[in-house]
C-alpha cells in the first residue's frame, strides 16, 4: 500500500534512507482530533525582511554573491482552494553550494552576507514570495560522491498537522535533477515534476532579478491513493 506520488521511505539509491526508514509496515489509522488540528502562527512572529534572504543577514549596504531571484507562488489544498496563513520556512546553500552550518564539511567559503533562511506567512489569497539568490549545486557522499541539484528546502504548516510538509524546490532545466536519488524516490514520474520551480519571466525585475514560480499543494483529510487502493476499502 503506497502513495505513488509520495517518495518511498526506503530507496536503495539513496543510501542513508536504508538505515533511517522502518522495516515494518506503518499502521494506517483514521485521523482524529490530533491530526485534524495544529498550531497556527500569526504575522506577529514575522519581521519585514524575513522573506528577503538578500537583506535579512547582510551588512548594511552589502549583498550576498549570486544571481538574485524571486521564488513565488500559491499554496493550495487538494481542491484547488488557496490557503491563507500558511507559515513557510525556507533554507538553502549559498551561491557556491555551502550551508551556514557547523556540520557542512565542504571547504567552500561562507558568504558573510548570506544566512540562508527565510520565513513568510501566505496572504489572504494564498500567495507567498521570497527574494533570494540561486543556490549552488554541491557534492555529497552517497554511492560514491554525487551532486545535489540546486534546491531550496521548504517547510509548511497548514491548518492541521496532517498538512505538515517538508519538501524541496528544484530549478527548471537543472541537468542534475534526473539522477537525484531523492527525486527518484518518488515512484510517479509525473509527481516528480511538481517539485520543479518554473522559470517565470513575468516576475523578473529591473533586468537583474530572475523569477521562479513554485505552487505547493497540501493534502486533505482523506487517505487518497492514486494507484493502489487500500486493502478493505
The answer to whether the CB of 119 falls within 8 A of the CB of 57 is no
Q: Indicate left, alpha or beta for 16 from its phi (over 0: left) and psi (-120 to 50: alpha).
A: alpha
How near is the Cβ of 224 to other proteins at its closest, in Å? 7
DSSP one-letter code for 44? G
Active-site residue, from 14, 138, 170, 212: 138
Using CB under 8 A, which of 59, 60, 61, 102 touches other proteins? 102
Q: Map residue 13 onto helix, strand or coil.
A: coil
Q: Does 145 bind other proteins (CB under 8 A)?
A: no
Rounding to the nearest 10 degrees, give the CA dihedral for residues 101, 103, 107, 108: -30
Q: Does 17 bind other proteins (CB under 8 A)?
A: yes
- Look up cell 476499502; give the residue: 233
Q: Does 27 bind other proteins (CB under 8 A)?
A: yes
Nearest to 168 by CA among 71, 100, 82: 71
Q: Is 118 or 211 the residue whose CB approaches other proteins more closely? A: 118
* Region binding other proteins by CB under 8 A among candidate stretches 1-9, 59-67, 125-133, 196-204: 1-9
CA distance 110 to 96: 8
How near is the Cβ of 207 to other proteins at its closest, in Å? 29
Answer yes or no: 12 catalytic.
no
Q: Is 7 or 211 the residue whose CB approaches other proteins more closely? A: 7
Name residues contacting other proteins, limited to 148-187 (CB under 8 A): 153, 155, 161-162, 164-168, 182-183, 185-186
Amino acid at each position: 500500500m503506497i502513495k505513488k506520488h509520495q517518495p518511498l521511505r526506503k530507496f536503495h539509491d539513496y543510501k542513508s534512507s536504508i538505515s533511517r526508514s522502518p522495516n515494518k509496515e506503518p499502521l494506517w489509522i483514521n485521523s482524529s482530533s490530533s491530526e485534524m488540528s495544529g498550531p497556527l502562527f500569526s504575522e506577529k512572529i514575522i519581521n519585514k525582511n524575513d522573506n528577503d534572504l538578500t537583506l535579512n543577514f547582510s551588512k548594511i549596504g552589502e549583498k550576498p554573491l549570486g544571481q538574485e531571484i524571486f521564488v513565488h507562488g500559491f499554496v493550495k489544498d487538494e481542491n484547488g482552494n488557496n490557503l491563507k496563513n500558511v507559515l513557510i520556512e525556507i533554507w538553502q546553500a549559498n551561491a557556491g553550494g555551502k550551508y551556514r552550518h557547523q556540520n557542512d564539511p565542504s571547504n567552500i567559503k561562507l558568504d558573510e552576507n548570506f544566512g540562508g533562511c527565510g520565513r513568510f506567512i501566505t496572504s489572504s489569497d494564498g500567495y507567498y514570495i521570497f527574494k533570494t539568490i540561486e543556490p549552488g549545486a554541491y557534492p555529497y557522499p552517497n554511492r560514491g560522491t554525487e551532486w545535489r541539484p540546486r534546491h531550496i528546502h521548504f517547510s509548511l504548516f497548514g491548518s492541521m498537522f496532517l498538512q505538515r510538509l517538508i519538501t524541496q524546490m528544484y530549478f527548471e532545466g537543472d541537468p542534475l535533477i534526473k539522477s537525484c536519488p531523492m527525486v527518484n524516490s518518488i515512484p510517479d514520474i509525473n509527481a516528480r515534476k511538481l517539485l520543479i520551480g518554473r522559470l517565470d519571466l513575468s516576475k523578473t525585475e529591473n533586468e537583474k532579478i530572475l523569477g521562479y514560480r513554485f505552487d505547493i499543494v497540501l493534502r486533505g483529510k482523506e487517505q487518497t491513493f492514486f494507484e493502489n487502493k487500500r486493502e478493505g476499502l
